[in-house]
């Protein structure tokens, strides 16, 4: 994989650490700024809402800018608002900085996901995507616990300063590691209406819906893992950090699994994986009071949740490659809609039942099985081998192929040579643009879903 991909993954790690770190700092912020704990906890909701709204807004704002410039601007804003947040003594100012940080994070992730697909080697789009998303799971495993320890030792402001400093390192990595003339630095050359039409394709909508629902189920449980383990789980409070660590390790393993197999076993991961995931949530709801062994099931569910979710995200990025940064924004928004709606439903369910969030997760995954398994769904076969790698945007090549077939040696360009050259025949409506030029194109399948390639 290109070195730039790992630079982007490190930047994503820093931003994910910022997104999740408040879970261990709420009490300190509440006491320091003289606000209630629910108000301080609302900063997390503000960040999540900023991610959902900011992804499409920022993508439209920078769609004509080179990717390198967009990434640098977003990361600079991200660093600046963390400096302001570390210095302020006014809760309202801190709340504004969290929303602005979310906007910057959403814009950065939307562009970074698009760049990851563009610079990926042929047939490795899913591996590139999951490598980038590994930054998020690493934040769950190591970044957030480290931030909590740092905050307990030196105060919550120290965590903000560390995030800002790591962001500066990310800026240096981008300045040195992302060339101005590379494939990943292209801006969108596709008309805005065409980008929107790509996002409206049924295959894209189904895949984004599945990704949001699976992610919603995963976070419905993760956010409430503390009360689940100590309430109906009947485990001591001291075990909560262990449970969070097990969940984080499982999530990292799941993303690694998706990276290894999503290019060649996408149907299996999405179809069978989602089915097993749903059964696993039901099992967790039934066995939650079984004691320590339940932690193993928590880790397994985290791995399955992130494996299925990351595969759906990789699949969606291939389908929306033609939409450029707007496609990355749609994927980012889908992830964060799930991360927002899942805990919201989980919280309502928790008020009525101690195991409520687990059943919410099971229900969301059950609904996700509809766009995944129904005819024409995400995991449906469409004439392509499950062993063929995911590698390209859903571009209809049929008109081009027919035009090439009609050309004869008498025209001066033999059909086989024209096909080898890769250039469309005279008058053929070949699709051009940065997103499609950088990603090998799928063969036409007679529908808007080219199948899992």
pLDDT at residue 80 in the model = 98
pLDDT at residue 376 in the model = 64
Q: How far apart are CA 229 and CA 220, in angstroms?
A: 14
Q: Give the number of domains in the chain.
A: 2
**Residue at 386 is within a domain:** no
Q: Within 13 Å of residue 100, how many CA atoms lie on the same side as its CB?
A: 18
247 plus 367 within the same structural domain: yes
**Residue at 252 is within a domain:** yes
416 plus 269 within the same structural domain: no
pLDDT at residue 21 in the model = 82
CA distance between the termini of the chain = 20
> Of 216, 253, 13, 270, which Cα lies nearest the Cα of 132?
13
Q: How far apart are CA 58 and CA 70, in angstroms?
A: 9
**Residue at 392 is within a domain:** no
pLDDT at residue 419 in the model = 41
80 plus 163 within the same structural domain: yes
**Residue at 381 is within a domain:** no
Q: How far apart are CA 378 and CA 207, in angstroms?
A: 6
pTM above 0.75, yes or no: no
Q: How far apart are CA 40 and CA 209, in angstroms?
A: 31
Host H or E run for residue 359: helix 356-373
Q: How far apart are CA 164 and CA 55, in angstroms?
A: 21
**Residue at 437 is within a domain:** no
pLDDT at residue 351 in the model = 84
pLDDT at residue 279 in the model = 96
345 plus 417 within the same structural domain: no
pLDDT at residue 186 in the model = 58
91 plus 25 within the same structural domain: yes
Question: Last residue of some domain: 358, 373, 388?
Answer: 373
DSSP state of 448: S
308 plus 409 within the same structural domain: no
117 plus 264 within the same structural domain: yes
pLDDT at residue 153 in the model = 86
Q: How far apart are CA 226 and CA 306, in angstroms?
A: 20
Q: How far apart are CA 20 and CA 13, in angstroms?
A: 11
221 plus 151 within the same structural domain: yes
**Residue at 383 is within a domain:** no
What's the CATH code of the domain at 94?
1.20.1250.20
174 plus 93 within the same structural domain: yes
pLDDT at residue 417 in the model = 41
**Residue at 43 is within a domain:** yes
Q: Tokens for 177?
A: 């590691």
102 plus 200 within the same structural domain: yes
pLDDT at residue 115 in the model = 87
Find the domain containing 44 and state its range: 3-373
**Residue at 446 is within a domain:** no
9 plus 68 within the same structural domain: yes
330 plus 413 within the same structural domain: no
Mean pLDDT by runs of 10 across the 453 residues of the chain is: 88 90 81 85 82 87 84 96 96 95 93 85 80 84 78 90 95 87 57 78 89 92 87 86 86 87 81 93 91 91 93 84 77 85 88 90 94 72 42 42 43 43 40 38 40 41
Q: How far apart are CA 327 and CA 219, in angstroms?
A: 23
pLDDT at residue 428 in the model = 38
């Amino acid at each position: 994989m290109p070195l730039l991909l790992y630079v982007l993954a490190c930047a994503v790690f820093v931003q994910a650490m910022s997104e999740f770190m408040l879970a261990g700092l709420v009490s300190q912020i509440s006491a320091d700024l003289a606000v209630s704990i629910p108000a301080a906890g609302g900063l997390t909701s503000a960040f999540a809402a900023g991610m959902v709204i900011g992804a499409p807004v920022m993508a439209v704002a920078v769609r004509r800018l080179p990717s390198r410039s967009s990434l640098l601007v977003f990361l600079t804003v991200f660093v600046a608002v963390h400096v302001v947040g570390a210095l302020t003594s006014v809760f309202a100012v801190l709340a504004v900085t969290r929303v602005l940080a979310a906007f910057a994070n959403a814009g950065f992730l939307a562009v970074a996901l698009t760049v990851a697909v563009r610079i990926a080697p042929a047939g490795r789009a899913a591996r590139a995507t999951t490598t980038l998303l590994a930054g998020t799971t690493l934040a769950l495993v190591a970044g957030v616990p480290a931030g909590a320890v740092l905050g307990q030792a030196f105060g919550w402001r120290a965590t903000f300063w560390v995030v800002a400093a790591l962001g500066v390192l990310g800026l240096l990595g981008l300045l040195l590691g992302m060339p101005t003339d590379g494939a990943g630095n292209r801006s969108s050359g596709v008309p805005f209406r065409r980008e929107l039409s790509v996002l409206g394709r049924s295959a894209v909508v189904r895949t984004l819906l599945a990704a949001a629902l699976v992610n919603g189920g995963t976070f419905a449980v993760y956010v409430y893992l503390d009360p689940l383990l100590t309430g109906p789980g009947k485990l001591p409070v001291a075990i909560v950090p262990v449970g969070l660590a097990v969940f984080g390790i499982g999530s990292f393993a799941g993303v690694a699994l998706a990276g290894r197999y999503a290019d060649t076993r996408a149907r299996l991961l999405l179809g069978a994986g989602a089915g097993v995931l749903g059964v696993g949530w039901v099992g967790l709801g039934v066995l939650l009071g079984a004691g320590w062994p339940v932690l193993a099931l928590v880790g397994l569910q985290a791995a399955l949740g992130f494996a299925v979710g990351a595969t759906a995200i990789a699949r969606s990025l291939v389908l929306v490659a033609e939409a450029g940064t707007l496609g990355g924004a749609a994927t980012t928004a889908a992830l964060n809609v799930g991360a927002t709606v899942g805990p919201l439903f989980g919280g309502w369910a928790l008020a009525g039942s101690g195991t409520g969030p687990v059943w919410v997760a099971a229900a969301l995954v059950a609904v996700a099985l509809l766009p995944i398994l129904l005819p024409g769904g995400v995991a449906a076969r469409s004439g392509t081998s499950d062993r063929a790698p995911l590698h390209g945007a859903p571009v209809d090549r049929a008109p081009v192929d027919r035009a090439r077939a009609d050309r004869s040696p008498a025209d001066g360009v033999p059909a086989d040579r024209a096909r080898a050259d890769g250039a469309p025949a005279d008058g053929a409506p070949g699709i051009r643009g940065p997103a499609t030029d950088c990603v090998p194109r799928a063969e036409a399948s007679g529908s808007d879903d080219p199948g899992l390639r």
